[in-house]
Amino acid sequence: MRELTYVARNTVEWREAPDPVLGSGREAIVAPVAATSCDVDSSILAGHGFLDPPFALGHECVARVVEVGDTLTTVAPGDLVVVPWSISCGTCDQCRAGLTAHCASVPYMAMYGAPIGGSWGGLFSELVRVPYADAMLVPLPSGLDPVAMASASDNWSLAWRLVAPHLKMRPGARVLVIARGSIGLYVCDIARALGAGDILYVDPDPAHRALAETYGARTAEAIEPIRHGFDLAVEATGRVDQLALAVKSLAPEGFCESAGNHFRPGELPLLDMYLTGVTLRIARDNVRAHIPDALALASSGTVDPARVVSHVLDWEDLPSALPERHLKPVFVRDLTTR
């Protein structure tokens, strides 16, 4: 089979790899049918990552189940499923506590699309082995479009976690979103659907701002800190100065969620944060735990993640198109047989 391989800055190519085979009755082989790039893939392609090429890229897709081990109970060949970005067993203490990005049954940080915590391949591959298929795979609810939900593996479900639990605790909260890619736009969509009182979206990209406005957000190209302006701030830029701006704009005892990907160190205004009373969470997302909730919101019809999909492209165009398409290109194949 072929797997899309990151080989150098702004360069990906198909490389041959052995077809994956079932290693136990708990495993499944799936074929991605709608795969997209995570916001971090753009950073990797631009050469800002911390891992040396070559490696198989991709960790967001809806896939079709091709083959299942004989003890699987939740999925069958032909099913469309969301494949989480991280590998998790579902039964260790960490997984049972919902910390699925910290599974103790696999090497630390085991994931698709990056050679850390073992070698699991990428989701821009023709076939993918899923080692704990009952625990990992989430059937795509009928009625949901695989193209719109290709990002449920990571960015869509992450965006749900960044904002939904906070709005449940604080209905009508004022939300600041400082972002550069799909995560911030998904946050705007979800925040509006769940009743945020005010959403300010900050991003230098005019096309992103125009999209955010369709979700009911006010927008700005850049801002100075807005003292005590927001109950929740979401930062998804990978830039420490923007994270500092987010925490400086919080109301007393406000919460800042950072989507991370800070590849460089930096300083935060700790005294300012202390005086305001700031809770900052910067964490790899335990995505498997809340993919079902994020899909349920998508099924409710109150959100429209399809608007963030910037291009729908043929799978064969991956090597040429992926390095050039930066918001949310979705690459599709074999989607018609559902």
User: By the criterion CB under 5 A, which residues form the site for Zn ion?
Assistant: 38, 40, 88-89, 92, 95, 103, 105, 154
Task: Please say which residue, 154 or 257, places its beta carbon nearer to Zn ion.
Answer: 154
Question: Which two tokens mark 1?
Answer: 């089979």
* Preceding peptide of 204 cis, ω within 30°: no
Residues paired with residue 52 on neighbouring β-strands, in sequence order:
none
CA contacts within 13 A on the Cβ side of 78: 2
CA contacts within 13 A on the Cβ side of 277: 6
Task: Please say which residue, 87 or 176, places its beta carbon nearer to Zn ion.
Answer: 87
Task: Please say which residue, 103 or 303, places its beta carbon nearer to Zn ion.
Answer: 103
| φ and ψ at residue 234, rounded to 5 degrees | -115, 125
Question: Which two tokens mark 48?
Answer: 């800002």
Shortest gap between Cβ of 153 and Zn ion (angstroms)? 8
Shortest gap between Cβ of 265 and Zn ion (angstroms)? 21
Task: Please say which residue, 56 or 95, places its beta carbon nearer to Zn ion.
Answer: 95
12, containing H or E segment: strand 11-16
Task: Please say which residue, 247 or 289, places its beta carbon nearer to Zn ion.
Answer: 289
Shortest gap between Cβ of 183 and Zn ion (angstroms)? 9
Quick one: CA torsion of 213, 218, 224, 229, rounded to 10 degrees? -140
Task: Please say which residue, 105 or 299, places its beta carbon nearer to Zn ion.
Answer: 105
Residue type at position 9: R
Task: Please say which residue, 11 or 105, places its beta carbon nearer to Zn ion.
Answer: 105
Contact 41, 56 (CB under 8 A): no
- Report residue 263 CA to chain centroid gap: 17
Shortest gap between Cβ of 92 and Zn ion (angstroms)? 3
Contact 146, 30 (CB under 8 A): no
Shortest gap between Cβ of 263 and Zn ion (angstroms)? 13
In b/e form, how buried is each residue of 141-151, taking b as 16+ CB within 10 angstroms? eeebbbbbbbb
Shortest gap between Cβ of 190 and Zn ion (angstroms)? 17
Going by their DSSP bridges, the two strands 278-282 and 250-258 should be labelled as parallel
d(CA 64, CA 288): 18
Shortest gap between Cβ of 106 and Zn ion (angstroms)? 7
Task: Please say which residue, 93 or 241, places its beta carbon nearer to Zn ion.
Answer: 93
Shortest gap between Cβ of 221 and Zn ion (angstroms)? 26
Question: Which two tokens mark 258?
Answer: 């950072």
177, containing H or E segment: strand 174-179
